[in-house]
Amino acid sequence: MHTPPGFRPSHVLPPAVPAGTLAFAFRDAKLLVGSPDDAPVVPALALVESLGIGEAVHYLGELDGTACVAVLLRDDAAEPEGWRYAGLRSLFFRLPEPLLAIAARAFQVVEWDRTHRYCGRCGTPTRDKPGERAKECPACGQIAYPRVSPAMMVLITRGSEVLLARAPRFPPGMYSALAGFVEPGETIEDCIRREVREEVGIEVGNITYFASQSWAFPHSLMIAYTAEYAGGELKPDETEIAEARWFAWDAVPELPPSISISRRLIEATVARLAGESARS
């Protein structure tokens, strides 16, 4: 997930909300969408407002000139006739990608609103801070911004092989690159070395940036790298890793879906190894 081309983000609601403003409205973690199932549509803000089910509205910006807002719906919001609530993951490949990206952004804003109604320091109800995407405590001045949690992903190579692992929660037969959340005080590179050591017991070098991806489940920024094996014996940590193995570039197993950055990272690396093998 990334900022779609044609999207101009903004925090400041225009003085008059334009007609046709799209509402990315969430009841809990589910988005309000209209039929048909294979090409769902996003409602206009006017429809959501007419139903009286919204609790908070946050302006997101304009997508190709159309204003977009995130709406936090009441937990008990009814399902309007002809509309339904759908999990974001179920909308992959159904909702056009720019709308899906805005929906993921909206979800993170709504989730932040929902979880920052009270000051974490003194318990006073918070209010929106003018001009910023922030919640402010009127009693003690504490400010809370939407949370983004950086995480690293790393694909380790050893000659013409890649290291892939399975987490216990993965579907059977699927493998991916290693990943883990950054801890306070760490650089991403520190995190990569620590997580690789903890998860599979080996050392890595030549850590190289690949790409990043926003991931709204619930608020990660996944930052992907490649690295080279630099020593040690593969010893997977049994609590986090069901299995970790070296795979030859031309014999990789089932991979995560193409929407994930892990798939792109693995495919790009495998293509590089294939090229290297053809030249040698």
Q: Which is nearer to Zn ion, 1 or 119 (CB)?
A: 119
Closest contact distance (angstroms) between CB of 219 and Zn ion is 22
Residue pair 221/184 in contact (Cβ under 8 Å)? The answer is: no
Q: Which is nearer to Zn ion, 63 or 119 (CB)?
A: 119
Among the listed residues 134, 3, 115, the one whose alpha carbon sits nearest the alpha carbon of residue 58: 134
Q: Which is nearer to Zn ion, 124 or 149 (CB)?
A: 124
Closest contact distance (angstroms) between CB of 125 and Zn ion is 9
Closest contact distance (angstroms) between CB of 132 and Zn ion is 17
Cα separation, 24 vs 61, in Å, equals: 12
Q: Which is nearer to Zn ion, 92 or 118 (CB)?
A: 118
Closest contact distance (angstroms) between CB of 59 and Zn ion is 25
**Structure-token match 């694909």, residue found:** 155
Closest contact distance (angstroms) between CB of 148 and Zn ion is 22
Cα angle for residues 51, 55, 61 (degrees, 5° grid): 95
Cα separation, 235 vs 222, in Å, equals: 25
Q: Which is nearer to Zn ion, 139 or 148 (CB)?
A: 139
Q: Which is nearer to Zn ion, 39 or 139 (CB)?
A: 139
Q: What residue ranges bind Zn ion (CB under 5 A)?
A: 119, 121-122, 124, 137, 139-140, 142
Cα separation, 86 vs 28, in Å, equals: 10
Cα separation, 54 vs 66, in Å, equals: 20
Does the N-terminal peptide bond of residue 218 adopt cis geometry, omega within 30 degrees of 0? yes
Q: Which is nearer to Zn ion, 50 or 124 (CB)?
A: 124
Q: Which is nearer to Zn ion, 46 or 140 (CB)?
A: 140
Closest contact distance (angstroms) between CB of 118 and Zn ion is 8
Closest contact distance (angstroms) between CB of 143 and Zn ion is 10
Contacts 24+ apart (CB under 8 A), 265-268: 265/153, 265/155, 265/177, 265/210, 265/211, 265/224, 265/226, 266/155, 266/162, 266/164, 266/176, 266/177, 268/210
Q: Which of the 8 DSSP states describes residue 122?
A: T
Closest contact distance (angstroms) between CB of 120 and Zn ion is 8
CA dihedral 49, 55, 58, 59 (to 10 degrees): 0
Q: Which of the 8 DSSP states describes residue 27?
A: E
